[in-house]
């Protein structure tokens, strides 16, 4: 029997990206208006290429990308090692079901679990792979409920999350996301969630002391820095107190590190700077550098809740994305990107503070690592638009915050360029 791939018959032409019909920016915009659901407010330009921290439009104009696909493109765009990994793995094997092993999922799980172990003084963990941040949240919610139900032998489905949080758009994730604007029109939400005030331990205690809800609570889920909520930091000591409270009440402490993880805040995991150890955490965004992959890490005892048949994802852990994840982690290691993020983050924050000093429209400038926010007195969208006209890309967080989450590979010159463009844009709109 021949194993040769079917060759193109002489009358069939090869199909490639080059043979697809090209479109102008105006045509793409018109197609998007007509055919995409209107949930995204896409705007020009059309990006066709990337080069490190720059994006290049169809018109061949360069934009400095200080959004990085909202904290996804940690290695910037078209990183040679990432491109090579994708090419090499695509040519070998893209996908096969989780019925079988592939060459990369288990080694990537090992690499992530070793990071967890390093960051927690030796705790053992296991890893479940999914495809996105929201799916990480879903898996964590299922894990928490199943852990209490089947390992601890007690139904404790209640989960506490925090006002201003963001955990994704699927049902459990949207319910966990304690911001009414994301839930509007989607009732009924998933039962069993209640919201505390971020950084306010007493508000967590109050929920736990509620005679009806309190005894049902099995987990607390929280971001170390609220990203979408506005680059919000909790007061010093909050997470340690929260950890102690969780220990006291037998609750799982679950950290959504989808945005903060993988060096974004200047440590591999953001929790490392808080002196705490989580029971569960989940990652996505930077883990694939742009290919969709997420990972949930859980302490050994907790991870045992996901026995065969309890949870799955068709695409989760496929060979392509996990190969990419392995290469990304090695690039992080080789290039010292976590330390670089801490250094560049400190530089960027200092430069932002210097540049915006005395601007009456700025109410706060804050951040951790390369996750920075400039809080202003009005809607940030016009400033983001003005920055884009000056060829700087950034995003909005919360209702008042200009968010900068550049690739972790940026240098001082990139930071200087971004700060100058942002200051000019903000002065133009608000000055
Ligand atoms: C902390 C956090 N959790 C979850 C998500 C959802 O991730 P995804 O959009 O990949 O589902 C995000 C996305 O911004 C996030 O910042």
Q: How do residues 361-420 score in pLDDT, each as one tens digit? A: 999 999 999 999 999 999 999 999 999 999 999 999 999 999 999 999 999 999 999 999
Nearest Cα to 413, choosing from 341, 329, 347? 347
The set of residues, in sequence order, having a beta carbon less than 8 Å from that of 247 and lying 6+ positions away, is: none
Does residue 261 have its Cβ closer than 6 Å to ligand 1?
A: no
Percent of the chain with pLDDT over 70: 98
> Tokens standing for 105?
């999922």
Does residue 158 have its Cβ closer than 6 Å to ligand 1?
A: no
Three-class secondary structure of residue 256 per DSSP: strand
pLDDT of residue 1: 44
Nearest Cα to 369, choosing from 403, 349, 342, 350? 342
Does residue 168 have its Cβ closer than 6 Å to ligand 1?
A: yes
Looking at the predicted structure, is the pLDDT value of residue 140 above 60? yes
Three-class secondary structure of residue 85 per DSSP: helix
370 in Cβ contact with 270 (< 8 Å) = no
pLDDT digits (tens, 9 = 90+) for 59-70: 999 999 999 999
CB-based burial, 139-176: b 16+ in 10 Å, e otherwise: bbbbbbbbbbeeeeeeebbbbbbbbbbbbbebebbbbb
Instruction: Measure the CA angle with vertex 31, ends 94 and 133; round to 5°.
Output: 45
The set of residues, in sequence order, having a beta carbon less than 8 Å from that of 365 and lying 6+ positions away, is: 349, 352, 353, 356, 372, 373, 374, 375
- What's the 21 CA to ligand 1 centre distance in angstroms? 33
189 in Cβ contact with 165 (< 8 Å) = no
Does residue 368 have its Cβ closer than 6 Å to ligand 1?
A: no
Neighbours of 95 (CB within 10 A): 12
Query: For residue 418, is the peptide bond before it cis, meaning its omega torsion is within 30 degrees of 0?
Result: no
279 in Cβ contact with 120 (< 8 Å) = no
pLDDT digits (tens, 9 = 90+) for 236-270: 999 999 999 999 999 999 999 999 999 999 999 99
| Ligand 1 nearest atom to the CA of residue 135, by list position | 11
| Domains of the chain from N-terminus onward | 88-335 (3.40.640.10), 337-430 (3.90.1150.10)
> Tokens standing for 267?
């440590």
What values do phi and psi take at 9, rounded to 5?
Answer: -65, 160
Q: Rounded to an integer, what distance in angstroms lies between the CA atom of residue 336 and that of residue 263?
A: 10
């Amino acid at each position: 029997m021949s194993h040769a791939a079917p060759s193109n018959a002489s009358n069939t032409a090869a199909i490639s990206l080059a043979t697809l019909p090209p479109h102008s920016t105006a045509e793409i915009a018109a197609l998007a208006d007509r055919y995409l659901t209107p949930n995204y407010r896409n705007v020009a330009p059309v990006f066709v290429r990337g080069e490190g921290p720059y994006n290049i439009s169809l018109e061949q104009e360069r934009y400095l990308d200080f959004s990085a696909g909202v904290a996804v493109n940690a290695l910037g765009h078209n990183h040679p090692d990432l491109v090579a990994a994708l090419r090499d793995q695509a040519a070998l094997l893209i996908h096969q079901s989780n019925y079988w092993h592939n060459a990369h999922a288990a080694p990537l799980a090992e690499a992530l679990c070793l990071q967890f172990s390093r960051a927690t003084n030796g705790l053992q963990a296991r890893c479940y792979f999914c495809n996105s941040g929201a799916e990480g949240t879903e898996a964590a919610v299922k894990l928490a409920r199943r852990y209490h139900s089947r390992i601890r032998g007690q139904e404790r489905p209640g989960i506490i999350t925090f006002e201003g949080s963001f955990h994704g758009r699927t049902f459990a994730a949207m319910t966990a996301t304690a911001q009414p604007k994301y839930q509007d029109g989607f009732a009924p939400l998933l039962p069993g969630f209640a919201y505390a005030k971020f950084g306010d331990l007493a508000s967590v205690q109050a929920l736990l002391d509620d005679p009806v809800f309190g005894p049902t609570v099995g987990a607390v889920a929280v971001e170390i820095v609220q990203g979408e909520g506005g680059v919000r930091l909790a007061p010093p000591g909050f997470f340690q107190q929260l950890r102690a409270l969780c220990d006291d009440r037998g609750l799982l402490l679950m950290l959504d590190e989808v945005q903060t993880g993988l060096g974004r805040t200047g440590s591999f995991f953001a929790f490392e700077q808080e002196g705490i150890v989580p029971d569960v955490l989940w990652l996505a965004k930077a883990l694939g550098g742009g290919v969709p992959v997420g990972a949930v890490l859980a302490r050994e005892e907790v991870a045992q809740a996901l026995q065969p048949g309890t949870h799955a994802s068709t695409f989760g852990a496929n060979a392509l994305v996990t190969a990419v994840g392995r290469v990304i982690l090695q690039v992080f290691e080789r290039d010292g990107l976590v330390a670089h993020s801490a250094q560049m983050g400190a530089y960027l924050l200092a430069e932002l503070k210097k540049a915006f000093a005395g601007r009456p429209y700025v109410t706060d400038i804050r951040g951790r690592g390369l996750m920075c926010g400039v809080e202003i007195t009005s809607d940030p969208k016009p400033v983001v638009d003005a920055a884009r006209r000056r060829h700087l890309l950034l995003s909005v967080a919360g209702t008042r915050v200009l968010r900068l989450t550049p690739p972790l590979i940026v240098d001082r010159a990139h930071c200087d360029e971004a700060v100058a463009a942002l200051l000019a844009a903000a002065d133009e709109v608000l000055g």
